[in-house]
Structure 1
Amino acid sequence: MECVELVAYQRTTVILSELVLGAVLLRFIRGAVDPPTQRIISASLFLHPGFLIVDHIHFQYNGFMFGILLWSILMARNGNKLASGILFAVLLNFKHIYMYLAPAYFIYLLRSYCFSPSGKLEIKNFLSLANSVIAVFILSFGPFILMGQIPQILSRLFPFTRGLNHAYWAPNAWALVTAADRVLLKYITRTGANVVINSSGVVSTSRGLVGDTVFAVLPNIKPAHTFAITVVFQSVALVKLWFSPTYKSFLTALTLCGYASYLFGWHVHEKAILLVLVPLSLLAAERHAYFRTFILASVAGVFSLFPLIFTPGESMVKVIYSVLWIIFVYVPLTRRVYEYPKSLSFVIIDTLEKIYLAGFPLLQLVVTLLPIYASRRAEATAPICVQSDDFTCPEPDPQSVAAPSSAMEFLPLMLTSVYCAIGLAWAFCRLMYVYLNEQTYQGPLNRI
């Protein structure tokens, strides 16, 4: 039974802890090159639907921890790189998922703080940073080392036995691969194509259960594969960061590192999309290319969190609030950064992106109506028995009655995951292209 006092304590502490986030966002405004625009971005972060859905309703402390992350980023913007590194080390010990961002911090702090512009190693800075980070980790892990619990901690931090996908597929590259496997399975089953099918993979990937993901047609993905692919994509961004260790380059590489880990990581949770959307928000007003990427990723990312809230009353809140939030962000920022497409290819891309965004209301309608349709279908196909004095109706078989409904139970989640994954994958490619090809443009962040 739910304890009202405990829930009240949890909700209250979550909301109060977000004062850290609010205080940091106010400091971002004070030192901004363009305070009015930064005010919009700060407000959008503080009021982000992801925090409402994940923190205030689906209990977490993400607002507090993202406050520490933004505090660390703020220190980097202000040139206090030692403080930036210490804050990130503290954050990493609060929640290990921020390890996704660690490569960008390592390269940026090593290159810009531990090396001089000429490439000479600054021994004093290197030792200060290394000793500070080591001290944070010793304070955090020291008691567990003394109690001999490090193996248990490592097994919890790196859950390689939990399967490639989370129960509800996070909308990343593996959701698309898993969906492709299901489509191929259906095609082979109906056409009778001479293809070997892994029988254990027929039911493993689309039941919404936590466990090992086994494909029926495609080759299985192992943790080593996801790690290698993630490192490759992160390295592309990190190479440029090494040669151009500016604040803007750091912020973009930081976003791309989190993005690559989200798209290609092992057993990624849907809530990890906030690791992409929060730093990406700070780039939203840099210019139109970043702004459009931010809109695509934000709409797809926020929508992908909707299944976490599924009761009718809360569903109305999440939809209305998210729509109001995107309007609040889109209208003022588009006036500042909008650029009309300058070539036919850009016009085509712009049109396709708008069509994709316009598909979300239809998707919401479909995932709302599908459970209703499935329920009515189950009732319509249930056997009808007329009871009389000489005959008593047998108890219905729960599995046979629920079969039509359960067959479609995971379909709304799968549709949401796949559709959002398409937008998030495209936004990643978009951001990577803009970052790697941006050589001469000097935006507001580069002038800090």
Structure 2
Amino acid sequence: MLTMIANAGTFLQLAVFATAIKLLLVPTYRSTDFEVHRNWLAITHSLPISKWYIEETSEWTLDYPPFFAWFEWALSQIARFVDPAMLVVQNLGHASGRTVMFQRFSVIVTDVVLLAAAYALARDVSSDDSLSSRGGDGKSKPKKLQGPGAQATGSADETTPSPTTISNSVSSGRSRGNSSTRSDRSDSGMQRSIVLFFLLSCNAGLLLVDHVHFQYNGVMIGLLLWSLYAARSGRHLLSGLLFAALLNMKHLFLYAAPAYFVYLLRHYCCEGTVLGPACAEADSGAGSRTGKGSGKGSGSNREGFRLGRVVVRLVVLGAGVLTIFGVSFGPFITMRQMPQVLRRLFPFGRGLLHAYWAANVWAPYAAADKLLAAALPRVAPRLGLELDKLGLWIEPGAANMAGGLVKVSRFAVLPQVSPAATALAVLLALVPCLAAFWAGDGRPGYVRRNIVRAVSYSFLSGFVFGYHVHEKAVLVALLPHAVDAVLTPSAARRFLLLATAGHYGLLPLIFRPQEYGTKILVLLSYLFISMVALGSVHAEVRLGAREAGVAGEGAASQSPLRPSKMQGSSTSPAKLGMEWETAKSPMKGTAVLGRLAKLYLAGFLVVELYVSIVHEAVPALRRRLPFAPLMLTSVYCSIGVLAVWVDMVADWVCETAMGWRKHEYQRY
């Protein structure tokens, strides 16, 4: 009990620490998004609902789904007691002291949704055994089961013994070592939970975007985390309904809708049924499998296909989702305003790229077009080429696509990219993840291990290939990935790369010299603590595994904590010590990063040196290459983002192949 109270105190201290930082940021720079949300407060408070998506007094028209509009309406009911002038639609640019304080504090207070979700997930991951549920590299470790007809499925629920089983196997060696291992595992679980709470509650990106730049990402990401917590806990219907509500707050989250659809269909509607390519084998071998399942969540009862239950759950899920969307969009459907609402929500006329390029695949694409547009008029005549005969008409200034204006920019040389093309690219990128999630094991452990990774990958795919993506959207992919980062070293490596590239890409949003020191300090502090904390977490896991391997000399071949030969690890205890020696010190926080990753991270120092010093110190560069700092930042950050995406898609492709060829869904 005293330990639980002490741990709760640690979470509270971190929450107070994060809130204190937010309070210190109140007087800092605020972007035009501050006026955007003030205008939305005025629209939802002063006008009837029939005019919410028609009002155009300000250029910052309402372009979020209805649930967020009602969120603004709820805030306006309090705002009218603070400063009624802020709720007048015609008061454009109104920013009195009371208005500023109210809007700043509204972000801080509503962040309680994020803090509560972070606490729930942090306590939840403390029970996960990352090394026993997956290999040291973060992948599932297939292992043959005992019993007739048993096959490897890669599921932690059947391939990995529980802590009690581990205890029994090790007790044949050293009872003291076993007791120490259990204690270390408990400490490691609590360490993971504290680190995760820090990664979520003190995220540098949210501090800079929400509490300096000004937005309400915290409350919406908090709702997403609650949905993921429900999924990991086996409450699949609740998870789906929370995600449906989230879609009606911000349609950016639509990128994860396919993953949620497959997850809910496979693990809620078809819960406990035998599905997939191994259906025939499972049916033929059903007679040799007996017993009852246990545990809540997907696949708790392997009872074969029951059409009636599938239909009932599909109807329940569909009715719940339709009810949420009906409450949200129903009034606008009855008023025949849906076309106008959809035009506001999906403004494809704004072009592929934002004024400042997001660090996705279109950043190097646009940079290549810019370089070609600048070089071809000079190089083509020397090569005897005529640009007009090649179908190229490069106008003066066509190379500049980072002028700081929100407008449709056309590529001068490379093919134009349409919204349909980006949508197709996103869907194709999601195929490996969706296929793997459908083919994957249907028991609770599979969803618990993979739902966060699937959702994070979906958002990252949307960020990489999406149309008119904002640089801030990387946070939606980053924060869910923190859950996986405290569980596996490979996810920790991805998180650190994505956090560095994604957060650095946010710095140009805060461009005033007054905030330069603040944004650099916030970013470096978060990244340093994250590296040290994650390095310490995974060092403890590896050392605990090493000690268990040495203690269980007599039953080493049965210990799930020993690396298998299929992973390229030696089974020698001495070799284990050599391999994991570098992770012993918690200060070696970059132990989860490879040399190439460390070299890439060091490159940010060079980028910052050019952007902040060299470019500003050389007048010729400022005059001839005004777009260079933003372009360099976007392109260099995109390298890290794309590297993480490629790494994740490779994992999903391998998992898909393994799932459809080797998985056999068994009944228990």
TM over 0.5: yes
Q: Which one-letter code corresponds to 1:118 in the other structure?
A: V
Matched, 1:241 2:437: yes
Aligned-partner SS, 1:283: helix
Matched-pair contact (CA < 8 Å) for 1:172–1:421: yes
Report the Cα distance in structure 2 between the residues aligned to 1:280 and 1:29, rounded to whole angstroms: 13
- Alpha-carbon displacement from aligned partner over 1:411-439 (angstroms, at most 9, x marks no partner): 11111000000110011101222343356
Report the Cα distance in structure 2 between the residues aligned to 1:23 and 1:224, rounded to whole angstroms: 38
Matched, 1:76 2:231: yes
Counterparts of 1:296-335 in structure 2, within 5 Å, are: 296-335=497-536
Report the Cα distance in structure 2 between the residues aligned to 1:291 and 1:436, rounded to whole angstroms: 20
Matched-pair contact (CA < 8 Å) for 2:371–2:399: no
Report the Cα distance in structure 2 between the residues aligned to 1:166 and 1:279, rounded to whole angstroms: 24
Matched-pair contact (CA < 8 Å) for 1:41–1:329: no
Cα gap change, 1:203 to 1:187, in 2 (>3 Å): closer
Shift of 1:31: 2.6
Q: Which one-letter code corresponds to 2:478 in the other structure?
A: L
Report the Cα distance in structure 2 between the residues aligned to 1:175 and 1:325, rounded to whole angstroms: 26
Q: What residue ranges of structure 1 are gaps of 5+ in the alignment? A: 378-403, 441-448
- What does residue 114 of structure 2 align with? 21
Matched-pair contact (CA < 8 Å) for 1:49–1:302: yes
Cα gap change, 1:11 to 1:371, in 2 (>3 Å): farther
- Alpha-carbon displacement from aligned partner over 1:380-402 (angstroms, at most 9, x marks no partner): xxxxxxxxxxxxxxxxxxxxxxx
Matched, 1:255 2:448: no
Matched, 1:103 2:219: no
Matched-pair contact (CA < 8 Å) for 1:175–1:417: yes
Counterparts of 1:274-423 in structure 2, within 5 Å, are: 274-337=475-538, 350-370=594-614, 372-373=616-617, 376-377=619-620, 405=622, 407-423=624-640
Shift of 1:124: 2.0
- What does residue 212 of structure 1 align with? 408
Shift of 1:125: 1.5
Report the Cα distance in structure 1 between the residues aligned to 2:537 and 2:205, rounded to whole angstroms: 25
Shift of 1:44: 1.2
- What does residue 229 of structure 1 align with? 425
Report the Cα distance in structure 2 between the residues aligned to 1:311 and 1:366, rounded to whole angstroms: 17
Matched-pair contact (CA < 8 Å) for 1:289–1:434: no
Q: Which one-letter code corresponds to 1:191 in the other structure?
A: V
Matched-pair contact (CA < 8 Å) for 1:14–1:61: yes
- What does residue 129 of structure 1 align with? 317
Aligned-partner SS, 1:251: helix
Shift of 1:407: 3.7
Matched-pair contact (CA < 8 Å) for 1:169–1:414: yes
Cα gap change, 1:310 to 1:420, in 2 (>3 Å): same
Shift of 1:406: 5.0
Counterparts of 1:1-80 in structure 2, within 5 Å, are: 2-32=95-125, 33=127, 34-80=189-235
2:394 to 195, 199, 214: 199
Report the Cα distance in structure 2 between the residues aligned to 1:76 and 1:412, rounded to whole angstroms: 42
Cα gap change, 1:71 to 1:185, in 2 (>3 Å): same
Shift of 1:370: 4.6
Q: Which moved more, 1:418-427 or 1:31-40?
A: 31-40
1:175 to 354, 359, 363: 363
Report the Cα distance in structure 1 between the residues aligned to 2:122 and 2:462, rounded to whole angstroms: 29
Matched-pair contact (CA < 8 Å) for 2:244–2:321: yes
Shift of 1:360: 0.9
Matched-pair contact (CA < 8 Å) for 2:498–2:640: yes
Report the Cα distance in structure 2 between the residues aligned to 1:286 and 1:434, rounded to whole angstroms: 16
Q: Which one-letter code corresponds to 1:357 in the other structure?
A: L
Percent identity for Structure 1 against Structure 2 = 38
Report the Cα distance in structure 2 between the residues aligned to 1:198 and 1:168, rounded to whole angstroms: 25
Q: Which moved more, 1:309-318 or 1:208-217?
A: 208-217
- Alpha-carbon displacement from aligned partner over 1:321-364 (angstroms, at most 9, x marks no partner): 1111111111121133268x979xxx9x9322211110112211
Matched-pair contact (CA < 8 Å) for 2:394–2:413: no
Cα gap change, 1:29 to 1:353, in 2 (>3 Å): closer
Report the Cα distance in structure 1 between the residues aligned to 2:353 and 2:511, rounded to whole angstroms: 21
Q: Which one-letter code corresponds to 2:464 in the other structure?
A: L
1:185 to 365, 368, 373: 373
Report the Cα distance in structure 1 between the residues aligned to 2:323 and 2:478, rounded to whole angstroms: 30
Shift of 1:203: 4.5
- What does residue 395 of structure 1 align with? none
Q: Which one-letter code corresponds to 1:414 in the other structure?
A: M
Cα gap change, 1:214 to 1:125, in 2 (>3 Å): same
Matched-pair contact (CA < 8 Å) for 1:162–1:210: yes
Q: Which one-letter code corresponds to 2:103 in the other structure?
A: Q
Matched-pair contact (CA < 8 Å) for 2:228–2:451: no
**Structure with bigger gyration radius:** 2
Q: Which one-letter code corresponds to 2:345 in the other structure?
A: L
Counterparts of 1:128-147 in structure 2, within 5 Å, are: 128-147=316-335
- What does residue 247 of structure 2 align with? 92
Q: Which one-letter code corresponds to 2:378 in the other structure?
A: R
Shift of 1:167: 0.6
Matched-pair contact (CA < 8 Å) for 2:373–2:394: no
Aligned-partner SS, 1:221: coil
- What does residue 391 of structure 1 align with? none
Shift of 1:23: 1.0
Report the Cα distance in structure 1 between the residues aligned to 2:487 and 2:599, rounded to whole angstroms: 24
Shift of 1:233: 0.6
Aligned-partner SS, 2:594: helix
Shift of 1:293: 1.1
Aligned length, in residue pairs: 409
Shift of 1:148: 2.1
Shift of 1:266: 0.7
Report the Cα distance in structure 1 between the residues aligned to 2:608 and 2:602, rounded to whole angstroms: 11
- What does residue 118 of structure 1 align with? 274
Q: Which one-letter code corresponds to 1:198 in the other structure?
A: W
Report the Cα distance in structure 1 between the residues aligned to 2:332 and 2:527, rounded to whole angstroms: 44
Report the Cα distance in structure 2 between the residues aligned to 1:198 and 1:273, rounded to whole angstroms: 35
Q: Which one-letter code corresponds to 2:203 in the other structure?
A: H
Q: Which one-letter code corresponds to 1:373 in the other structure?
A: A
